[in-house]
Amino acid sequence: MAITSIVGKTRFKSAMGKCRVPVYSAVTQGALIAVDVSNNGWILADASTSIPATLIAMQAGAAGDTIWACVAAVVEAMDTETSGVFTATNIAAAADVTKPLYVGESGDLLLTAGTIGQVVGNILSRTEFFLCPNTWLTGVNLSASGTLAVTGNSTLGGTLAVTGATTLTGAVAMNGGGTVASGKNVTFAKGSVIETTQTAADDATLTAGGSVLVDTSAKDISITLPAAVAGLAVTAVCSSATKQLTVVAASGDKLINASGAAKDNTKGNAAAYNNISLMAVDGTNWITTGYQGTWTYA
């Protein structure tokens, strides 16, 4: 690690959002502290046990003490003294100035993302750090490019524009408006979905009820239904007369045709705006509740 531990070794040059908080573990001045839900207080933040930082301890305290803390601060290394001469102490390497700081173990800092990857500040100079561990992104338009990894239970509200290779892991809720997705092998969870112009291999799988509008001008497209659940409804609409749309039952499920026979899929003729509406009547079977055009079950 190219930074020196700041816990107990720095002073506060400036602090914002000062407050008094009860602590339920021993803390040292300069430590990052986190919400302790069990005791309605604060404990040491710790990346290795997935405890994100909330505040910065401005003084040391034993378990049960009430201490001064702050939301954000500029901290600097204490000077060293030799024969009455005070010299600034470097706590970061020159090559690391401006780099982000991450929550580490036992309230300390890391130069690398660690287990939970929480950014808590950055290196201002070799002798000063800026810390602001609890930052919310709410009510803003967020644009992310490049490789974005979102882990844990994440709620994204408002306008979100994401480009590049994007990985969303955990329970992710995207709220506000319809969802428009393009590209191949897209999985849709629920709601009204528009799948834009298809190219080779751009089939899709639905994982819940909803509507899907498919442009088949480039190739024949297959839409796989979600696993049947009684009452679940899906409508698939073909927007082009160039190619054909096939609706496929999930593995183990069946589509019941007009004669009552169980089939694996149904294919529409090449006609613009052909559509078919299906409803699951139990955990295995789908029936057709409405259609336009010619649909052949197989």
Per DSSP, 223 falls in state: E
pLDDT higher than threshold 50 for residue 158:
yes
Confidence of residue 113 (pLDDT cuts 50, 70, 90): confident
Instruction: Compute the average pLDDT of residues 102-116.
Output: 87
For all residues of the chain together, what is the average pLDDT? 82
- The pLDDT of residue 172 is 64
Q: Would you state the pLDDT for residue 170?
A: 62
Distance CA 6, CA 211 (A): 55
Q: Amino acid identity of 227? A: A
Rg (CA), the chain: 28
89, 77 contact by CB (below 8 A): yes
Q: Is 182 helix (H, G, I), strand (E, B) or coil?
A: coil
In a 3-state reduction of DSSP, which class is residue 20?
Answer: strand
According to CATH, the topology of domain 178-297 is Jelly Rolls (2.60.120)
Rounded Cα distance between 295 and 275, Å, is: 9
The span from the CA of 141 to the CA of 144, in Å, is 10
Q: What's the chain's length in residues?
A: 298
- Residue 95 φ then ψ, to 5°: -70, -15
Region 198-203: mean pLDDT is 58
In this prediction, residues 204-227 reach a mean pLDDT of: 83
pLDDT in tens, 68-81: 999 999 999 887 77
Average pLDDT over residues 226-240: 89
More confident site: 156 or 120: 120
What six digits make up the tokens of 186? 């897209």
Residue 249 pLDDT greater than 80, yes or no = yes
Amino acid at 91: I
In the chain, which segments carry CATH 2.60.120.640? 178-297
Q: Which of 121-130, 146-155, 208-217 is predicted with the least confidence, judged by mean pLDDT?
A: 146-155
Is the separation of the CB atoms in 182 and 195 below 8 Å? yes
